[in-house]
A and B are shown apart, each in its own frame.
Chain A
Amino acid sequence: MAGFRQLLRNTPQGLYCPPGNFHIDPTQPVDHAVITHGHSDHARAGHGTVLATPETLAIMAARYGADFAVSSQAARYGEAVTRGSVSVTLVPAGHVLGSAQAVLRWKDRTAVISGDYKRRRDPTCPPFQPVPCDLFVSEATFGLPVFRFPPSEDETAKLLKSVTLFPERTHLVGVYALGKAQRLIRLLRETGYDKTLYVHGALASMNALYEAHGVALGSLAHATDDTRNALPGEIVLAPPSAIADKWARRFTDPIPAFASGWMMVRARARQRHVELPLVLSDHADWDELTFTAQELKPEELWITHGSEEALLRWAALNDISATALEIAGYEDEDE
Chain B
Amino acid sequence: MKAFARLLDQLAFTPARNAKLTLLRDYLSNAPDPERGWALASLTGALSFDAAKPGFIRKAAEARLDPQLFALSYDFVGDLAETVALVWPARPGANREPELPEVVESLRSASRREVPQLLERWLDALDATGRWALLKLLTGGLRVGVSARLAKQTLAQMGDVPVAEIEEVWHSQDPPYGDLFAWLEQRSDKPSAETPGRFRPVMLAQAIDEATDFSRYDANDYAAEWKWDGIRVQAANEGGQRRLYSRTGEDVAPAFPDVIAALDFQGVIDGELLIFRGGHAAPFGDLQQRLNRKTADTKLMEKFPAGIRAYDLLMDGAEDLRDLPFAERRKRLEIFVTRLKSDRIDLSPLQPFESWEGLAQLRAHPPKGDPEVAEGLMLKRWDSVYEPGRPKGPWFKWKRDPHLIDAVLMYAQRGHGKRSGFYSDYTFGVWREDSNGDRSLTPVGKAYFGFTDEELKRLDKFVRDNTVERFGPVRSVRADRDFGLVLEIAFEGLQRSTRHKSGVAMRFPRVNRIRWDKPAREADELPTLEKMLD
Contacts and interface: CB of A to CB of B under 8 A. Distances in A.
Interface of A: 144-148, 150, 158, 162, 165-166, 244-249, 253-256, 264-267, 269-271, 273-277, 307, 309-310, 313-314, 317
B77 A267 contact: yes
A253 B129 CA distance: 27
Interface in B449-481: 472-473
B367 interface: no
A154 B90 CA distance: 17
B78 interface: yes
B47 interface: no
Contact of B13 (A146, A165, A274): A274
Interface string B10-50: 10111100010011001000000000000000000000000
Contact of B15 (A245, A249, A253, A275): A275
B76 A265 contact: yes
A244 B421 contact: yes
Interface stretch (B61-69, B189-197, B387-395, B506-514): B61-69
A310 B73 contact: yes
Given A150-B127, A265-B82, A271-B473, A144 B14 contact: no
B23 A150 contact: no
21 contacts: A144-B76, A145-B70, A146-B76, A146-B86, A165-B23, A166-B19, A166-B22, A244-B421, A245-B421, A247-B421, A249-B422, A255-B19, A266-B82, A267-B79, A269-B13, A270-B13, A271-B473, A273-B473, A275-B14, A309-B72, A314-B69
Contacts of B421: 244-249
A314 B98 CA distance: 31
Given A253-B418, A273-B416, A148 B72 contact: no
A271 B472 contact: yes
Given A150-B128, A248-B421, A144 B73 contact: yes
Interface of B: 6, 10, 12-15, 19, 22-23, 26, 65-66, 68-70, 72-73, 76-79, 82-83, 86-87, 90, 127-129, 414, 416-418, 420-422, 472-473
Contacts of B86: 145-148, 264-265
Given A146-B83, A267-B77, A317-B66, A276 B72 contact: no
A154 to B, nearest CB: 9
Given A150-B127, A265-B76, A266-B79, A244 B420 contact: yes
B72 to A, nearest CB: 5
Contacts of B76: 144, 146, 265, 307
A149 to B, nearest CB: 9
Contacts of A267: 77-79
A313 B72 contact: yes
A145 B73 contact: yes
A256 B420 contact: yes
Contacts of A255: 19
Contacts of A145: 65, 69-70, 73, 86-87
A265 B77 contact: yes
Nearest to B460: A246
A246 B472 CA distance: 17
Given A144-B72, A244-B421, 4 more contacts: A248-B421, A267-B79, A309-B72, A313-B69
Contacts of B23: 165
Nearest to A228: B453
Contacts of A266: 12-13, 79, 82
Nearest to B83: A146
B133 to A, nearest CB: 12
Contact of A254 (B6, B77, B420, B472): B420
Interface centre among A144, A146, A309 (most CB of B within 10 A): A146
Contacts of B19: 166, 255, 275
Nearest to A149: B128
Contacts of B418: 253
A249 B87 CA distance: 38
A246 B422 CA distance: 7
Interface centre among B13, B87, B129, B414 (most CB of A within 10 A): B13
Contacts of B70: 145
Contacts of A269: 13
Contacts of A275: 13-15, 19, 416-417
